[in-house]
Amino acid sequence: MALASHKDYGSASNYPRALSSIIISVGLLAVFITLASWILLSFPVGTVVRSYFYGVDQTSDLGLSVSLGGLNGSQVRGEDKTDFSDIDLAKSEGTTEKDQNQKQNDGGSKNQPGEDNQNQNAEISKDQRVEDIQNKNVEGSQNQNAEGSQKEVPSGDDTMPREQATNNTLPTEIPVEQATNNTQPMEIPREKATNNPLPMDDRDSPKDELINDASADLLKSETSPGNTDSKESVDSECDLYHGEWFYDSAGPLYTNNSCPVITQMQNCQGNGRPDKEYESWRWKPAQCELPRFNATKFLELMKGKTLAFVGDSVARNQMESLMCLLWQVETPKNRGNRHMQRWFFKSKSVMIVRIWSSWLVHQTSEASGDLPSGVAKLHLDVPDEVFMQNIPNFDVVVLSSGHWFAKQSVYMLNNQMVGTQLWSPPKKQQPLNINNVDAFGISVETSLTAMATHPNFTGLTILRAYSPDHYEGGAWNTGGSCTGKVRPILPGPYRSPDPNKITKRGPDGKPPPQDCLHWCMPGPVDTWNELVLEVIRREFEEDSDSVVSQEGGHVAKPDHDDESEVEMELEVDASTGETEPVRNQTESSEGSDSSDCDLYDGQWYYDPEGPLYTNNTCPILSQNQNCQGNGRPDKEYENWRWKPSQCELPRFNATKFLELMSGKTITFVGDSVARNQMESLLCILWQVEVPRNRGNRRMQRWFFKSNSVTIIRFWSAWLVHHTTEPFSYVPDGITKIHLDVPDETFMELTPKSDVVVFSNGHWFPKRSVYLLNNEIVGTQLWNSPENLAMNITSTEAYEISTETSLTALATHSNYSGLTIVTSYSPDHYENGAWNTGGSCTGKDRPLFPGQVVEHEYTNIMHDKQTAGFHQAVKKRTNESKLKLMDITEAFKYRHDGHPGPYRSLDPNKITKRDPNGRPPPQDCLHWCMPGPVDTWNELMLELIRREFEGNQNSAF
């Protein structure tokens, strides 16, 4: 009872205290609401806060005269839609601001807010749209930052007092010596910068990139009150930006191994990050389903169009994510230069462009008045002329910026300094009202207004909201970290494969700077492109409904007709001055495939199933190509397969091959590379049937009894008649090649062959003499004692011999088979030739686009062979078919597929050096088996299937 009574007394005594707490809480809430209302109505803070929370606030008036007259008409508006590929995008830092209207900040008449809004709305084209893509974060750091922004904004003063700046998350004027105590990344003096490398790739700009640590989540843009056009609003009632993250066990649509354009700093898995769960979290809007990114759908919607990413390194992050997604269905052509990245997807004539523009407005670093050189001067009322001059060429523009506004800079309006960041003017100036956050809002308004009033731009503009960072415990250069997070997070310390950049501490004991701003790839940034695709779908599809339910489907907008597609493709090609090879035109019109699938335009992908045979299951494997048997330590090169961009190339089906070739003979004619391909075919077929060897020392012949299939290989290095007998003044021992006489030995076999596969070219650098009509017309590695004029080089001799041999087949009265010409096989010798120390050691995966070192000789030989092929096609008189199996370009990427030093079991042939100190010659010409050469037979099988099956369609 005593204890119970004591509890009752204690409870009763708490009532007054609880009542007082409620009264105090209500009072504080009233004070907070009053203070917040005052902040929202004040200038300039209220304008900035409203801009952050409501996106592009067209009804706000900054009380400053913002003019777009800083550039002439051609710079701001652009002329008629012209090709932008030839425009030099180096920034013009001239005095284009001199012609602006000189308006005083504190004097003169000002338009009323209502007038500004009416004028602006009147100028905006009805068929233009601005979408604001919101970035949501599961950890809720944006809301904390937004609250911090409201609480820390000082009252009354436009310019923040210096004594308060060190504790503020949104500084304006802060001396450099105070910057180390601020969470905002500051300008680092050159002499101190070496200990604080920036956590991002600085290849985009010679300047140091600085990251704004003030994370603010921009909420959904609201439609202007005066705008009632439904076309200007989101097409659906579904709010894409209100939802939650969920774990998707299907994982990402690409990996760091299947995307060659991932910047190393965002290649978290490649840089050693141990966990992978962050790749599998996807965004789900509360009211609908956001479909996984559909690359084919994207290319269809963007058919004949250009999408441009404009902004800083975060814009690059998003663009590379999109490229990785699209790369899985088609390998684009790189048509960029040092000023602009440009990728062209040929199947749908889609161009992806990226233009660097850190601030979206005109900027210069040249000295001006009291402003020294090296300090960025941002003309907030003048849009960036670099991307504005290209605006008429774009159909979709994605803007992304904000993180460079923390960098040292000076803000200008009407050529007057109105604010600074991390720099103090040497003389007393009039009050500076614009801080870096104000400047960000003005720059966004300037750039978007310039686009929304551009007479020649009718495209879709997507404004991606400010991307939050997640630094904890400091800023990027003061030990801030995002390590150890296992949900959708940023690259953290895994931003470089250099272990020193991950673990080595500086002299002050701080760890290396982490990247908690950019996003891992694959990772959350891929969601941005799912949102972009949905916004584009709503704009370009006839069905304006939002994302569909799981049972529903999209109704695609009808594609352009074929004629318009071709015209667009030719227009783009003409703009670059490039000649794009059309693979299907490498065959005669009589013998061309009826399929639209180009087998030779595609990419390499990793196939975990591995090869169809091993070095232990194929008894006829030449020891020189038995890389595993010769001690090669890695095996990954065996697993890469070729995928055409527009179709699937099936794995080789040995049973299918024998059925198609039932009762037929296939003959391989050429040099040792032809033998390489023939042995690959035999190894694959050996897995289903052991053939009988019926060959002799002059000719290899293998017979598969089940389907009466014969495979023959005949050696003919030049495909034409040759002899080493003395001729005229040419001595014995030197090869004399009669370029106009086909090799009579294999021509005798022609009537017996149903399929002939040619492969040669690598013996033409050998010492020889070339003859036409029994007259010497050229030499190779031999000087004529007669000093006669020689017009035929080794590459020209290759063209003539190809034409001669193929014409002999195409006009042979008793031959009606299929002739397949394997194009010139590239070698990959580096730092020398085969006999001068050239090497291909240490290559364990294919090259990525942009890494291929073009060898002029390989390209010339390919072109000469192709030219000879076309000449023979024109001369065809019989019923035979000629096909060019054009493997050259695809196999330039396979530097990993050669034996290299592993060409023999003899250790002396791998390690022993000659008297000159050179290592033994490596083999960077032939191909390991199993290995890339097996792809040749997959392509060959597809060509045979097209010819011998009733269905002439391409690979399925």
Which range has highest mean pLDDT (144-153, 566-575, 592-601)? 592-601
Residue 761's pLDDT is 96
How many residues does this entry show for the chain? 956
3-state secondary structure 99-154: HCCCCCCCCCCCCCHHHHHHHHHHHCCCCCEEEEECCCCCCCHHHHHHHHHHHHCC
For residues 654 and 110, the model is more confident at: 654
The CB density around residue 759, as the number of other CB atoms within 10 Å, is 26
Separation of alpha carbons 784 and 811, rounded Å: 35
Q: What is the mean pLDDT of residues 846-864?
A: 90
Q: What are phi and psi of 676, to 5 degrees?
A: -55, -45
286-305 burial, b at 16+ Cβ within 10 Å, e below that, comes to: eebebbebbbebbbbbbbbb
Q: Determine contact, residues 293/536, Cβ cutoff 8 Å.
A: no
pLDDT of residue 199: 34
Which residue in the list 233, 672, 784, 904 is annotated as catalytic?
672
Rounded CA-CA distance 272/107 in Å is: 60
CA distance 192 to 260: 35
More confident of the two residues 431 and 162: 431
Smallest CA-to-CA distance from 423 within 406, 402, 439 is with: 406
Q: What are phi and psi of 289, to 5 degrees?
A: -100, 130
For residue 753, what pLDDT band results from cuts at 50, 70 and 90? Answer: very high
Do the beta carbons of residue 246 and residue 282 sit within 8 Å? Answer: yes
pLDDT the model gives residue 60:
37
Calculate mean pLDDT across residues 571-583.
Answer: 31
Please give the pLDDT value at position 506: 60
Max avg pLDDT among 109-123, 127-141, 296-310: 296-310
- Of 352, 942, 299, whose CA–CA distance to 643 is shortest? 942
> How far apart are alpha carbons 45 and 26 in whole angstroms?
26
**Would you call 837 exposed, middle or buried from its count of C-beta atoms within 10 A (0-12, 13-18, 19+)?**
middle
User: Residue 668 has what pLDDT?
Assistant: 97
Q: Place 910 in a pLDDT band, splitting at 50, 70 and 90.
A: low
Query: What local confidence, expressed as pLDDT, does residue 36 receive?
Result: 63
**Model pLDDT, residue 98:** 35
Residue 144: band (very low, low, confident or very high) from pLDDT cuts 50, 70, 90 = very low
**Which amino acid type is present at position 228?**
T
Q: Categorize the per-residue pLDDT at 212 as very low, low, confident or very high, splitting at 50, 70 and 90.
A: very low
Query: 């609480």: which residue's tokens?
Result: 151
Secondary structure of 724-774 in HEC code, one letter for each residue: CCCECCECCCCEEEEEEEECHHHHCCHHHCCEEEEECCCCCCCCEEEEECC
926 is catalytic: yes
Tokens encoding 648: 């699937």
pTM for this prediction: 0.46
Tokens of 448: 């978007």
Contact between residue 512 and residue 493 where contact means Cβ atoms under 8 Å apart: yes
**Residue 595 pLDDT grade (very low, low, confident, very high; cuts 50, 70, 90):** low
Average pLDDT on 871-881 reads 96
Shortest CA distance to 738 belongs to which of 784, 776, 789? 776
> Is pLDDT larger for residue 823 or for residue 550?
823
| pLDDT at site 486 | 65
Q: Is the pLDDT of residue 113 over 60?
A: no
Segment 318-346 mean pLDDT: 89
Q: Are 381 and 375 in contact (CB under 8 A)?
A: no
Whether 323 and 580 have beta carbons less than 8 Å apart is answered as no
Instruction: List Cβ neighbours of 658 (8 Å cut-off, separation of 6 or more).
Output: 685, 688, 689, 704, 706, 707, 709
List the one residue out of 407, 835, 880, 899 whose CA is nearest residue 624: 899
Cα distance between residue 209 and residue 212, in whole Å: 10
pLDDT for 71: 44
Does residue 225 register a pLDDT over 70?
no
pLDDT at 255: 92
Higher pLDDT, 869 or 833: 869
Q: Collapsing DSSP states into helix, strand and coil, what is residue 278?
A: helix
Of all residues in the chain, the percent with pLDDT exceeding 70 is: 65
Would you state the pLDDT for residue 531?
A: 82
- Return the pLDDT at 510: 62
* 8 A C-beta contact, residue 275 and residue 305: no
Cα separation of 311 and 359, whole Å? Answer: 7
Q: Following DSSP, what letter does each residue of 807-853 receive, concatenated?
A: HHHHT-TT--SEEEEEPPPPP--BSS-TTTT-B-TT--SPPPTTT--
Task: Determine the Cα–Cα distance for residues 927 and 933; give it in Å rounded to an integer.
Answer: 6
Q: Which residue has the higher pLDDT, 767 or 134?
A: 767
Instruction: Tell me whether strands 333-334 and 341-345 are parallel, antiparallel or unpaired.
Output: antiparallel
CB 95 within 8 A of CB 366: no
Q: Of the residues 454, 862, 898, 926, which is catalytic?
A: 926
Lowest mean pLDDT, pick from 293-307, 480-494, 621-635, 640-654 = 480-494
List C-alpha distances in Å: 474 to 197, 480, 774.
Answer: 15, 4, 83
CA distance 804 to 132: 64
In this prediction, residues 539-557 reach a mean pLDDT of 42
pLDDT band at 627 (very low <50, low <70, confident <90, very high): very high
Q: Are 287 and 514 in contact (CB under 8 A)?
A: no
pLDDT value of residue 875: 97
Residue 723 confidence class, pLDDT cut points 50, 70, 90: very high
468 compared with 691, residue with greater pLDDT: 691
pLDDT of res. 729:
83
Q: At 695, which amino acid appears? A: G
Phi-psi sector, 773: left (phi>0), alpha (psi -120 to 50), beta: left
Higher pLDDT, 548 or 462: 462
- How far apart, in whole angstroms, are the C-alpha atoms of residue 48 and residue 591? 68
Examine the residue annotation and report whether 923 is marked as an active-site residue of this protein: yes
pLDDT for 416: 85
Percent of the chain scoring above 90 in pLDDT: 38
Q: What is the mean pLDDT of the chain?
A: 73
Cβ distance 710 to 703 under 8 Å? Answer: yes
In the predicted structure, residue 337 carries a pLDDT above the cut 50: yes
Q: Report which secondary-structure segment, H or E, holds 398.
A: strand 396-400
Residue 550, pLDDT above cutoff 50? no
Q: Count of H helices and E strands in the chain?
A: 21, 26
Mean pLDDT of the region 79-91:
37
Residue 278, pLDDT score: 87
Catalytic residue flag (residue 672): yes
CA atoms lying within 13 Å on the CB side of residue 394: 25
The Cα 301–Cα 295 span in angstroms is 10
Residue 38 has what pLDDT?
A: 60
234-262 pLDDT per residue, tens: 345 688 888 888 888 888 999 989 998 88
Residue 469 confidence (pLDDT): 83
Non-local CB neighbours of 371 within 8 Å, separated by 6+ positions: 377, 410, 417
- More confident call, 407 vs 139: 407
Nearest-angstrom CA–CA distance, 860 and 906: 36
Do residues 900 and 838 make contact, with C-beta atoms less than 8 angstroms apart? Answer: no
Please, is 804 exposed, middle or buried when counting C-beta atoms within 10 Å of its C-beta (0-12, 13-18, 19+)? buried
